[in-house]
Chain A
Amino acid sequence: MLRDITLGQYYQTESVIHRLDPRVKLLGTILFFISLFCFSNPAGYAIALLFLAAVIITTHVPFSYMIKGMKTIVVLIIITVVINLFMTQGDVVVEFWKFKITKQGIVMAVQIFFRIAMLIVGSSIMTLTTTPNHLTDGMERGLRFLKVIKVPVHEIAMMMSIALRFIPILLEETDKIMKAQLARGADLESGNIFKRIKAMVPILVPLFISSFRRANDLASAMEARCYRGGEGRTKMKPLKYTSRDAVAYLVLFAYMVVSISVGRLDALKIM
């Protein structure tokens, strides 16, 4: 049932991308996002797509697995695309009833589609190839400079890693409780929306209670092992850059330069 949700969960396999320092992957993802918003012609998107495809192949994560968890997001993409298609003002191409489709609207919709799709695939590459622990480690290290302005970087990172760690546990728990209530004749699938929401109560109440219990237990366990925040805390495996990471940074730099300079050439614009 719920076990099938895979979006953003770590996929265990052997690849260069998996072994990269999480900071490289974090910065890479952010830069990739930025690049997507710099393009003003199709060539930029084409380069980004090629780059993304190359990275996907390098990760050794099956593409089917990568997009399997994305079915839910498709709805979001479609809505955004449709809104852009109909709501953009400009030269009318097709007109029916109250709706107008403009040339600008089509261009906008296509552009938005590629942006969102690549944003999602781009960020899921990061989470598919990096364990949650590694990810928050990277974040903590990468954002350490924010400590100067009193941002509790360590605490935020710790909260994030706990939250990420708990996602599969909560899914499993939900699955278990759902089964237990199904065994007592719960009907979760029929009836109107209000009936269904009401049918969820016997699942949500135990779920909340067990979450609080778990949170409490975890806090006690951390206290019992003398956890007292980030002050003076050292790591068993501190993050260290290797030559691999340097190469990755170079590739990233090259991608940024090429894609943005080509992606902003006025000569390639279609509008």
Chain B
Amino acid sequence: MSLIVDHISYIYGKDTGTPIEALKDVSLSIPDGQFIGIIGHTGSGKSTLMQHLNGLEKASSGTIYFNGEDVYEKGYNLKNLRSKVGLVFQYPEHQLFAETVFADVCYGPKNLGLSKSDCELRAYDALRKVGFPEDLIFTSPFELSGGQKRRAAIAGVLAMKPEVLILDEPTAGLDPKGRDEILTQIKKLQKEENMTILLVSHSMEDVAEYVDRIVVLNEGKIFLDNTPKEVFRHYKELEEIGLSAPQVTYIMHDLADAGLNVRCDVTTVSEAADEIVRALSR
């Protein structure tokens, strides 16, 4: 039970004058229940890769296996794949369309052919899970703030109860509090429902606290694929491709250079604080 990406490449605008090679020989194995951060510079192919995982784009070469089945095989039920691998797009608020938030969230489950009461139960449940304010459930989605729209859109995908949840920059343009809230909710989904989560982001800082594994994309290729600690060890190389490690990594390295005996492979602020206290009290 897992998602395997087997040497896929993808070219945009293949037969126009200006083809763009967005993915180059990418391979990934995504086991169940893992929380993976996908990091890369603008244009590195993150969104493109994510759209392959639920069959919206078809790779120019290579293939994808979901639960052992080749999704490019003739007759493979892509609609089923899309209900199992939920994808929340970058700026998902642009896809809201119904008269009320509630009706919009019901759209996904309804497409799965569920009964009305099941759809509504799921919609209500999903809205609660993303922390959507209850008194706004029956207002028009177009009267919401950006962060509320974002939550409604995420709920729209969650209501389909996917096994794998992909979020393409779910926190872009949100304030720090909203960002932490959403990421915490997502972490909870992984913990409580054993959902596999793929979180796309520009920023190491955002994901370091939450993920089990980081995949760094650069110019359509996988640059690093490891645990956060191991990935941040390469902070110099990350800088070369326009990314940066979390600030604590820099602080710890600076402290170590200044002669304080601290470990440099901490990933979060609280870990760093503990480590500094430990080093100083020795």
Contact = CB atoms under 8 A, between A and B. Distances in A.
Chains A and B come from one and the same complex: yes
Interface of A: 3, 6, 11-13, 176-177, 179-187, 201-203, 205-206, 209-210
A184 B157 contact: yes
B8 to A, nearest CB: 17
9 contacts: A11-B17, A180-B92, A180-B94, A183-B82, A184-B108, A184-B156, A184-B157, A185-B79, A185-B111
A181 B82 contact: no
A177 B54 CA distance: 15
- Nearest 7 interchain pairs by C-beta: A185-B111, A205-B97, A180-B95, A184-B108, A183-B87, A202-B97, A180-B89
A206 B96 contact: yes
Contacts of A205: 97
- Could you say which interface size class chain B belongs to? 20 to 34
Nearest to A177: B95
A179 B94 contact: no
Contacts of B98: 202
Contact of A185 (B16, B18, B108): B108
Interface in B66-100: 79, 82-83, 86-87, 89, 92, 94-98
Nearest to B78: A182
Contacts of A183: 54, 56, 82, 86-87, 89, 157
- Which of A13, A176, A177, A182 has the largest number of chain B CB atoms within 10 A? A182
B94 A3 contact: no
B142 A209 contact: yes
A184 B84 CA distance: 10
A12 B56 CA distance: 29
Nearest to B56: A179
Nearest to B17: A12
A230 to B, nearest CB: 34
A206 B142 CA distance: 10
B51 interface: yes
B107 A184 contact: yes
Given A6-B16, A12-B17, A184-B157, 16 more contacts: A11-B17, A12-B18, A177-B94, A177-B95, A179-B51, A180-B94, A181-B107, A182-B56, A183-B89, A183-B157, A184-B82, A184-B156, A185-B160, A186-B111, A202-B95, A206-B95
Nearest to A181: B95
Contacts of A203: 97
Interface of B: 13, 16-18, 51, 54, 56, 79, 82-83, 86-87, 89, 92, 94-98, 107-108, 111-112, 142, 156-157, 160
A209 B98 CA distance: 12
Interface of A, helix, strand, loop or mixed by DSSP: helix
A12 B111 CA distance: 42
B79 A187 contact: yes
Given A13-B17, A206-B95, A176 B112 contact: no
A203 B87 CA distance: 17
Nearest to A11: B17
Contacts of A184: 82, 95, 107-108, 111, 156-157, 160
Nearest to A204: B97
Contacts of A180: 89, 92, 94-95
A206 B156 contact: no
Given A184-B107, A206-B95, A3 B13 contact: yes
A179 B95 CA distance: 10
B97 A201 contact: yes
A261 B17 CA distance: 40
B107 to A, nearest CB: 6
Contacts of B89: 176, 179-180, 183
- Which of B83, B94, B96, B160 has the largest number of chain A CB atoms within 10 A? B94
- Which of A6, A11, A185 has the largest number of chain B CB atoms within 10 A? A185
Given A177-B94, A180-B94, A183-B56, A202 B17 contact: no
B169 to A, nearest CB: 14
B60 to A, nearest CB: 14
Given A179-B51, A179-B56, A183-B54, A202 B94 contact: no
A171 to B, nearest CB: 13
Contacts of A6: 16
B97 A185 contact: no
A187 B107 CA distance: 11
Contacts of A209: 142
A177 B89 CA distance: 9
A217 to B, nearest CB: 14
B217 to A, nearest CB: 20
A193 B96 CA distance: 24
A185 B87 CA distance: 11
